[in-house]
Amino acid sequence: MEDKENDNEFNIIDVGRLIVSSLERYTELIETIRQNTEKMMISLQPFLKALSEKVVNINFKGLTDALLKFSEALNNPNSFFSYESYKNDLENYYWVWPYKMDAVQLKEILTNNKDETSFDKIMIKYFTKEKTNQMITDISNNLPKKHKVIFKQAINSFNNKDFAIANMVFYSIIEDLLAGYTQNKGNNTRNTILNPVVDYYCRYQINEVPFIFELCLLSNCINYIYKQYDFNSNEQPSNHKKVSRHLSQHGKKYSNQKIDCLLLLNCIYKIIYFEDILKPFKGLLVRNKDKSKRDEKFMINKDKMNLLDKRVHKFLDITKKDEKQ
């Protein structure tokens, strides 16, 4: 009994010594940290003093003016900041820049309509019969001759509210208008076709390529139109519009809505309108064959990059000269 009491006493003493030893090491560590921090602060004093002098001498008027200009840019419908906002919103709604719409009107519409369905309803109202006919005329006047007859028949279908028939024609026209930019004319896929064009022009300053925002919208719209769907899982468009070249071409589902026709017509107009911007890429886009067909993406032929650079520089030089005149 006495031995057990001695053992317990011995264990308690050992534990006490261990605690004291640990506390001593902890105290030494804290002291080391304190000393090192103090040395670091002393070495930083010249820098902190210089920094404080700079802060005191800040030109607050200049800072205020800069903030004011930034605020004005955000509120200016034609500023790059606003255009970036339009791009983000319209990409979510799958639209290109609406035909003949100015930035002031677009800003107001996007501010008051924050989802695809409400924006589409506004577009139905915006595209009056007069404005729609004006867009159709502009397209028809600039379409390649081989498309004029079928386009006229598609417009007759559109006017008769046979939207599914009209859409099938519009798909084929978009497909052919973009065919010239690919090396393989037999490839009927158009998904991602303008992605490398956007990436290429993004290497420039915005003021050199002010069309970049609308080009991004056109690329996004085409990717939406030509998206590949999985037939095995009965995959379908989940948004308000039902535009799908893939589903329609294979008889899975047809889009029979006026809003779908308007989006496709607007897309055709923008492809024609951007012909000069796209022309440098004619015959230079190829598909990446290293991936499965569903994951294939367009890219610029690396062997033709020097040719592309020359074409783009020539185009941008002509654009600059035209702006000066």
Domains contained in the chain, number: 2
What is the pLDDT of the chain when averaged over all its residues? 83
> Is the pTM value of this prediction over 0.95?
no
If asked whether residues 132 and 255 sit together in one domain, one would say yes
The answer to whether residue 126 sits within a structural domain is yes
If asked whether residues 232 and 171 sit together in one domain, one would say yes
Pull the structure tokens for residue 5.
Answer: 């009491």
Q: Under a CB-based contact definition with an 8 Å cutoff, are residues 285 and 300 in contact?
A: yes
At residue 10 the predicted structure's pLDDT band, cuts being 50, 70 and 90, is very low
If asked whether residues 166 and 99 sit together in one domain, one would say yes
The answer to whether residue 187 sits within a structural domain is yes
The answer to whether residue 66 sits within a structural domain is no
pLDDT at residue 32 greater than cutoff 70? no
- Domain encompassing residue 105: 78-324
At residue 233 the predicted structure's pLDDT band, cuts being 50, 70 and 90, is confident
If asked whether residues 21 and 122 sit together in one domain, one would say no
The answer to whether residue 68 sits within a structural domain is no
If asked whether residues 98 and 25 sit together in one domain, one would say no
If asked whether residues 135 and 229 sit together in one domain, one would say yes
Helix (H) or strand (E) holding 275: helix 275-278
If asked whether residues 128 and 53 sit together in one domain, one would say no
If asked whether residues 132 and 51 sit together in one domain, one would say no
Q: What are the C-alpha distances in Å from 191 to residues 118, 174, 186, 220?
A: 26, 12, 15, 9
Q: How many residues does the chain have?
A: 325
Q: What is the 3-state secondary structure (H, E, C) of 89-118?
A: HHHHHCCCCCCCCCHHHHHHHHHHCCCHHH
Q: What are the C-alpha distances in Å from 53 to residues 48, 124, 204, 289?
A: 9, 60, 39, 60
pLDDT at residue 318 greater than cutoff 60? yes
Measured CA to CA, the distance from residue 225 to residue 243 in angstroms comes to 6
The answer to whether residue 266 sits within a structural domain is yes
What pLDDT score was predicted for residue 29?
57
The answer to whether residue 14 sits within a structural domain is yes
Share of the chain above pLDDT 70, in %: 73
In terms of phi and psi (left: phi > 0; alpha: psi -120 to 50; beta: otherwise), the region of 161 is left
> What single letter denotes the amino acid at residue 22?
S
pLDDT at residue 322 greater than cutoff 70? no
Pull the structure tokens for residue 300.
Answer: 């610029």
Range list of β-strands (E), the chain: 285-287, 298-300
What pLDDT score was predicted for residue 296?
76
If asked whether residues 32 and 84 sit together in one domain, one would say no
What pLDDT score was predicted for residue 230?
81
- Termini Cα distance of the chain: 111
The answer to whether residue 72 sits within a structural domain is no
Q: Under a CB-based contact definition with an 8 Å cutoff, are residues 259 and 124 in contact?
A: yes
If asked whether residues 144 and 212 sit together in one domain, one would say yes
Q: Which residues pair with 95 in a beta bridge?
A: none
At residue 292 the predicted structure's pLDDT band, cuts being 50, 70 and 90, is low
The answer to whether residue 35 sits within a structural domain is yes
Tokens 């006490």 correspond to what residue?
16
What pLDDT score was predicted for residue 81?
82
Greater confidence (68 vs 235) lies with: 235
If asked whether residues 82 and 54 sit together in one domain, one would say no
What pLDDT score was predicted for residue 254?
87
Tens of pLDDT, residue by residue over 134-168, are 999 999 999 999 999 999 999 999 999 999 999 99
Tens of pLDDT, residue by residue over 155-208, are 999 999 999 999 999 999 999 999 999 987 677 789 999 999 999 999 999 999
If asked whether residues 97 and 47 sit together in one domain, one would say no
